[in-house]
């Protein structure tokens, strides 16, 4: 198992002390969704309360590679798109997830977890940690890689230890929200039915108000045809890769993206900001406090890198001529023996980055792997069909609904 340390590797507890000038606040365009899904879920909850009164609490169930029902929700678009391209679904979507309250078949190669009415499916390369609240009154699912404030990689075991005796969902959310990494976590307890993102929203969370499903990208989220977004003013540019969808919009008119520092209420499908709280933003008042803050940032980044390097069989630090990767290199100096330094070139400017990265690696006594497919035959893909399949896999995994021209300079 390999981990790639991205730059910057952001975490809320330190970022909160750096000040408002470093915050990128997105104001959500609020909307109220009235969908058949919400009415169906409300009716289902009423039925559950009537029929299951006094029944034992549910337990986390895990199923792999088997069918679970006959009357099922249609599979997501990605299944048929992968089949059309001759690609394996579990390979293309290996680090993605899908969450639904409707009956579903197990996605090819995915692992299925159940809690109550919820069905959570995760790709084979997406770690899933889970734990239950005290007395089995609820469940927590942590998807991805996270390093908690103590420097511990979050796992089922660490969750059980940290949350032993904890009854309040707010305490769980506060603890997990302080983790650094690429992750989402789901809390299912009583009236709290929520999904949270990492500080940057780097593991995407999209939701479809027409079905109530939640997923990493459009192609694993939607089990219906795409309805073109006619509300977002720059939709045509975004579809043609000349712009992007912002403020939670997607290529689909109804499907929305959860924005960072918000959680999604799975019952109402409304987003709510949970960070920063009123007292979370503190500007350093003098030079001594600023130096202390910078020291904490340095220590925390070093702790994260050390934890990742001990957790994975191979930990890769991408290095360029930029400031972000230089800072990570400096903060991870005590873990250099466990890190593989890497740089990638595809044009004149990125080759300049490689030259700078090579010098930086030399300064710290480490070697650097430089990948330049245009100049190094060992990294070239000579088979045109293989290139096309690689391009198709990338496009499907990143939610493309139509295939762009093949970029030879990258492949």
pLDDT score for 14: 42
* Contact (Cβ atoms closer than 8 angstroms) between residue 60 and residue 114: yes
Q: Do residues 206 and 256 lie in contact, with contact meaning Cβ atoms separated by under 8 Å?
A: yes
* 38/211 Cα distance (integer angstroms): 8
Angle, helix 348-363 to helix 323-331, in steps of 10 degrees: 20
* Pairing status of strand 180-189 against strand 192-197: antiparallel
Say which residue the tokens 């930086």 belong to. 360
Greater confidence (57 vs 220) lies with: 220
Q: Where are the alpha helices (DSSP H) in 163-203?
A: 169-177
Q: So what's the pLDDT on residue 62?
A: 56
Pairing of strands 262-265, 192-197: antiparallel
| Res 284: pLDDT | 75
Whether the predicted pLDDT of 18 surpasses 80: no
**Residue 34 clears pLDDT 80, i.e. is over it:** no
pLDDT tens digits, 347-358: 888 999 999 999
Could you read off the pLDDT of 176-192 as tens digits, one per residue? 999 999 999 999 999 99
Joined together, the tokens standing for residue 334 give 């005590």
Are 247 and 29 contacting, i.e. CB atoms less than 8 angstroms apart? Answer: yes
Task: Report the pLDDT value the prediction gives residue 4, as an integer from 0 to 100.
Answer: 62
Of 1.10.405, 3.60.20, 1.10.3470, 3.40.50, the CATH number of 24-273 is 3.60.20
118: left (phi over 0), alpha (psi -120 to 50) or beta: beta
What is the pTM assigned to this prediction? 0.82
Span 366-371, mean pLDDT?
Answer: 93
Q: Which ranges of 52-92 does DSSP label H, i.e. alpha helix?
A: 77-85, 89-92
Cα separation, 387 vs 396, in Å, equals: 14
The residues with which 185 forms a beta bridge, in sequence order, are 142, 196
Q: What is the DSSP string of 289-320?
A: HHHHHHHHHHHHHHHHHHHHHHHSSEEEEE--
Is residue 249 within 8 Å of 240, Cβ to Cβ? Answer: no
Instruction: Quick: pLDDT tens for 319-341.
Output: 988 899 999 999 999 999 999 99
- Weakest-pLDDT range from 10-14, 116-120, 209-213, 257-261: 10-14
In the predicted structure, residue 282 carries a pLDDT above the cut 80: no
Coil, helix or strand at residue 231: coil
Q: For residue 21, what pLDDT is reported? A: 27
Distance CA 295, CA 373 (A): 39
Which residues have CB under 8 Å from 245's CB, separation 6+?
229, 232, 234, 235, 238, 251, 257
Structure confidence at residue 44 (pLDDT): 45
Among the listed residues 300, 322, 308, the one whose alpha carbon sits nearest the alpha carbon of residue 18: 300
pLDDT of 58 higher than 50: yes
Q: What is the mean pLDDT of the chain?
A: 82
pLDDT value of position 1: 60
**How is residue 53 annotated by DSSP?**
T
* Domain residue ranges in the chain: 24-273
| Residue 100 CA neighbour count, 13 Å, CB half | 26
Q: What is the mean pLDDT of residues 247-273?
A: 95
What's the confidence (pLDDT) of residue 220? Answer: 96
Query: Can you give the pLDDT at residue 347?
Result: 87
Do residues 387 and 405 lie in contact, with contact meaning Cβ atoms separated by under 8 Å?
no
Q: Across residues 299-304, what is the average pLDDT? A: 96
pLDDT tens digits for 66-99? 333 445 678 999 999 999 999 999 999 999 999 9
Backbone conformation region of residue 86, classed left if phi is above 0, alpha if psi is from -120 to 50, else beta: left
Q: Residue 196 phi/psi, 5° resolution?
A: -115, 155
């Amino acid at each position: 198992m390999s981990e790639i340390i991205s730059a910057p590797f952001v975490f809320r507890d330190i970022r909160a002390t750096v000040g408002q000038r470093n915050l990128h606040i997105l104001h959500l365009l609020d909307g109220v969704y009235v969908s058949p899904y919400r009415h169906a879920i409300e009716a289902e909850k009423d039925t559950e309360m009537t029929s299951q009164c006094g029944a034992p609490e549910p337990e986390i169930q895990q199923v792999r590679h088997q069918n679970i029902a006959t009357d099922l929700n249609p599979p997501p678009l990605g299944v048929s798109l992968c089949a059309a391209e001759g690609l394996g679904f579990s390979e293309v979507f290996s680090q993605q997830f899908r969450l639904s309250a409707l009956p579903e078949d197990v996605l090819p190669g995915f692992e299925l977890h159940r809690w109550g009415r919820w069905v959570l499916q995760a790709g084979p390369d997406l770690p899933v940690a889970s734990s239950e609240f005290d007395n089995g009154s609820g469940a927590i699912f942590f998807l991805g890689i996270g390093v908690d404030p103590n420097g511990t990689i979050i796992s089922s075991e660490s969750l059980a230890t940290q949350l032993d005796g904890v009854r309040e969902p707010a305490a769980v959310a506060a603890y997990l929200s302080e983790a650094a990494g690429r992750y989402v976590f789901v809390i299912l307890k009583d009236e709290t039915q929520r999904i949270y993102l990492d500080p940057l929203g780097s593991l995407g969370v999209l939701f479809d108000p027409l079905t109530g499903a939640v997923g990493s990208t459009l192609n694993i989220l939607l089990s219906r045809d795409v309805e073109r977004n006619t509300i977002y003013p720059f939709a045509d540019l975004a579809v043609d890769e000349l712009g992007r969808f912002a403020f939670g919009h997607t290529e689909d008119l109804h499907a929305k993206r959860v924005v960072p520092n918000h959680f999604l209420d799975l019952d109402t499908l409304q987003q709510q900001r949970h960070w920063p709280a009123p007292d979370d933003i503190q500007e350093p008042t003098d030079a001594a406090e600023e130096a202390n803050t910078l020291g904490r940032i340095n220590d925390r980044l070093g702790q994260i890198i050390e934890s990742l390097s001990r957790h994975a069989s191979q930990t890769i630090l991408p290095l360029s001529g930029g400031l972000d990767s230089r800072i990570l290199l400096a903060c991870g100096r005590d873990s250099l023996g466990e890190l593989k330094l890497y740089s990638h070139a595809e044009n004149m400017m990125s080759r300049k980055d490689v030259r700078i990265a090579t010098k930086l690696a030399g300064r710290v006594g480490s070697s650097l792997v430089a990948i330049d497919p245009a100049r190094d035959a060992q990294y070239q893909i000579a088979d045109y069909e293989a290139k096309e399949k690689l391009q198709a896999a990338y496009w499907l995994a990143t939610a493309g609904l139509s295939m762009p021209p093949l970029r030879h300079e990258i492949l």
